[in-house]
Amino acid sequence: MGGDLLTVEALAAGYGPVPVLHDVDLRVPTGTIAAVIGANGAGKTTLLRTLSGMLRPTAGRILLDGRDLRGTPVEQLVRRGMAHVPEGRGVIGELTVEENLRLGALWRRDRTAAGHALDEVYQLFEPLARRRRHLGHQLSGGERQMLALGRALVGRPRLLLLDEPSLGLAPRVVAQTMALLRRLRDDTGLTVLLVEQNVRSALAVADQGIVMSLGRVALAAPAARLRDDADLRHAYLGF
Ligand SMILES: Nc1ncnc2c1ncn2[C@@H]1O[C@H](COP(=O)(O)OP(=O)(O)OP(=O)(O)O)[C@@H](O)[C@H]1O
């Protein structure tokens, strides 16, 4: 514990010649949840893609545990503890629940530990345990969300990058997902960067709120301040 697991300094990135992120600075302390919020097109998804190595920064630095990630291959990022659950979730419909989960542990050399991690995920997500032989496309939206999250967790990440986990889910399932994140933070010291449209749910679970606007960080503040200060909320979040 202690210190920042993730540090981002003056980060810039975009798609080909189109710049999207400008001069992004942020810090996420170990064992905390940071909610990244902001309007459509603010650059939240692009930020996660850049952090997980899918997009190459055009400027700036990303540090994990104080170590610069520049030039680190994506599979090495996973070994160093980073897991990205993208928007749309990427569950493979033609594979079973169990096969999807095993994909998340493929890179682990220690097969026994990988098996334990799989058991843990089944304990965490009871419906997946009951449907382990079902195909991905047979699952409900909530179950697919669990599977995507479960697949990231079998790799025992230290930093979880989560893009819109509540998209298309019933409020009850959203609440369960947020409660799970809180539990993983408290029990295992997991650090989470959570991109959410559902600002209230995100701020309810987060320690820090990072408001993005037009590819920049407009405000980074304790989530409690964003929750409780009506003026701040009005100025930055419009409600
Ligand atoms: N694959 C892409 N190619 C080119 N431009 C893109 C691509 N993906 C996103 N963009 C552009 O980058 C900008 C930021 O998009 P991004 O998806 O990161 O925003 P966001 O804050 O996640 O919004 P949303 O909540 O709508 O997903 C937008 O102007 C978008 O049009």
Tens of pLDDT, residue by residue over 177-194, are 899 899 999 999 999 999
List CB contacts of 8: < 8 A, sequence separation 6 or more. Answer: 24, 25, 26, 27, 51, 60, 61, 62, 63
Dihedral sign for Cα atoms in the order 201, 204, 205, 211: positive
Average pLDDT score over residue span 200-225: 95
- Whether the CB-CB separation of 133 and 97 falls below 8 Å is answered with yes
Whole-number Å distance between alpha carbons of 55 and 132: 33
Structural domains in the chain, sorted by start: 1-81+159-239 (3.40.50.300), 90-156 (no CATH)
Atom number of ligand 1 nearest to Cα 47: 18
164 bridge partner residues: none
pLDDT of residue 116: 87
Which residue owns the Cα nearest ligand 1 atom 30?
Answer: 41
Neighbours of 202 (CB within 10 A): 26
Cβ atoms of 66 and 59 closer than 8 Å: no
pLDDT band at 162 (very low <50, low <70, confident <90, very high): very high
Atom of ligand 1 nearest to the CA of 195: 22
CB atoms near residue 185 (< 10 Å): 19
Q: Is the pLDDT of residue 206 over 90?
A: yes
How many angstroms does the Cα of residue 89 sit away from the middle of ligand 1?
Answer: 16
What ipTM was predicted for this assembly? 0.95
pTM comes to 0.93
Q: Which atom of ligand 1 is nearest to the CA of 46?
A: 18
Buried b (16+ CB within 10 A) or exposed e, 207-232: bbbbbbeebebebbeebeebbeeeeb
pLDDT over 90 at 141, yes or no: no
Alpha carbon 64 to its chain centroid, in Å, reads 15
